[in-house]
Amino acid sequence: MAVLICGGAGYVGSHTSALLFEKNEELIIIDRMARERQNAVIGGKVYNGDLNNSEFLDKVFSENEIEAVIHLAASSLVGESMSCPLDYYNNNVVGTLRLLEAMNRYHVDKIIFSSTAAIYGNPKSVPIKESDGPSPTNPYGETKLAIERMLGWAEKAHGIKYVALRYFNVSGAHDSGEIGEDHSPETHLIPLMLQVALGQREKIVIFGDDYPTRDGSCIRDYVHVMDIAEAHYVALNKLRSDGPSGIYNIGNGEGFTVKEVIDTVSKVTGKPIPFEIGAKRAGDPAVLVASPILIRNELGWYPKRSTLLEMVESAWEWHRRHPQGFPKIDQGIQKEGNVT
Ligand X SMILES: O=c1ccn([C@@H]2O[C@H](COP(=O)(O)OP(=O)(O)O[C@H]3O[C@H](CO)[C@H](O)[C@H](O)[C@H]3O)[C@@H](O)[C@H]2O)c(=O)[nH]1
Ligand Y SMILES: NC(=O)c1ccc[n+]([C@@H]2O[C@H](COP(=O)([O-])OP(=O)(O)OC[C@H]3O[C@@H](n4cnc5c(N)ncnc54)[C@H](O)[C@@H]3O)[C@@H](O)[C@H]2O)c1
C-alpha span between 117 and 128 (Å, rounded): 9
Q: Does 1 bind ligand X (CB under 6 A)?
A: no
Q: Residue 83 has what DSSP assignment?
A: H
Q: Give min distance, CB of 74 to ligand Y, in A.
A: 3
- Whether residue 140 lies in the annotated active site: yes
Chain residues binding ligand Y by CB under 6 A are 7, 9-13, 30-33, 50-52, 72-74, 76, 91, 95, 114, 116, 167, 169-170, 183
Question: Which listed residue (72, 93, 118, 299) binds ligand X by CB under 6 A?
Answer: 118
Q: Does 207 bind ligand X (CB under 6 A)?
A: yes
Backbone φ and ψ of 30, nearest 5°: -115, 135
281 binds, among ligand Y, ligand X, none (CB under 5 to 8 A by kind): ligand X
C-alpha span between 268 and 150 (Å, rounded): 42
Q: Does 27 bind ligand X (CB under 6 A)?
A: no
Closest to 246 in 3D by CA, of 45, 124, 112, 66: 112
C-alpha span between 233 and 8 (Å, rounded): 14
| Residue 40 vs 225, nearer CB to ligand X | 225
C-alpha span between 149 and 262 (Å, rounded): 37
Angle formed by the axes of helices 225-240 and 11-22, nearest 10°: 60
31 binds, among ligand X, ligand Y, none (CB under 5 to 8 A by kind): ligand Y
- Which one of 88, 120, 140, 248 is the catalytic residue? 140
10 binds, among ligand X, ligand Y, none (CB under 5 to 8 A by kind): ligand Y
Question: Which listed residue (220, 232, 238, 319) binds ligand X by CB under 6 A?
Answer: 220
Q: Give min distance, CB of 10 to ligand Y, in A.
A: 2
C-alpha span between 283 and 140 (Å, rounded): 9
Q: Residue 122 has what DSSP assignment?
A: S
192 binds, among ligand Y, ligand X, none (CB under 5 to 8 A by kind): ligand X
Site for ligand X in 281-320 (CB under 6 A): 281, 284, 288
Q: Give min distance, CB of 34 to ligand Y, in A.
A: 8
| Residue 161 vs 305, nearer CB to ligand X | 305
Q: Give min distance, CB of 108 to ligand X, in A.
A: 25
Question: Which listed residue (18, 111, 258, 315) binds ligand X by CB under 6 A?
Answer: 258
H or E segment to which residue 5 belongs: strand 2-6
Q: Does 188 bind ligand X (CB under 6 A)?
A: yes
189 binds, among ligand Y, ligand X, none (CB under 5 to 8 A by kind): ligand X
Answer whether 121's CB lies under 8 Å from 141's CB: yes
Query: Contact region for ligand X (CB under 6 A) — 15-23, 53-61, 112-120, 125-133?
Result: 112-120
Q: Does 117 bind ligand X (CB under 6 A)?
A: yes
3-state secondary structure 276-312: EEECCCCCCCCEECECCHHHHHHHCCCCCCCCHHHHH
The CB-nearest residue to ligand Y is 10
| Residue 271 vs 340, nearer CB to ligand Y | 340
Closest to 102 in 3D by CA, of 163, 40, 59, 44: 59
Total residues interacting with ligand X, rule: CB under 6 A? 21
Closest to 128 in 3D by CA, of 246, 215, 283, 253: 253
C-alpha span between 223 and 170 (Å, rounded): 5
Q: Residue 40 has what DSSP assignment?
A: G
> How far separated are the first and last CA of the chain, in Å rounded?
19
Find the DSSP H helices in 42-138.
Answer: 54-63, 78-83, 85-88, 95-105
7 binds, among ligand X, ligand Y, none (CB under 5 to 8 A by kind): ligand Y
Q: What residues line the site for ligand X (CB under 6 A)? A: 76, 78, 116-118, 168-169, 187-189, 192, 204-207, 218, 220, 258, 281, 284, 288
Q: Which residues are catalytic?
A: 140
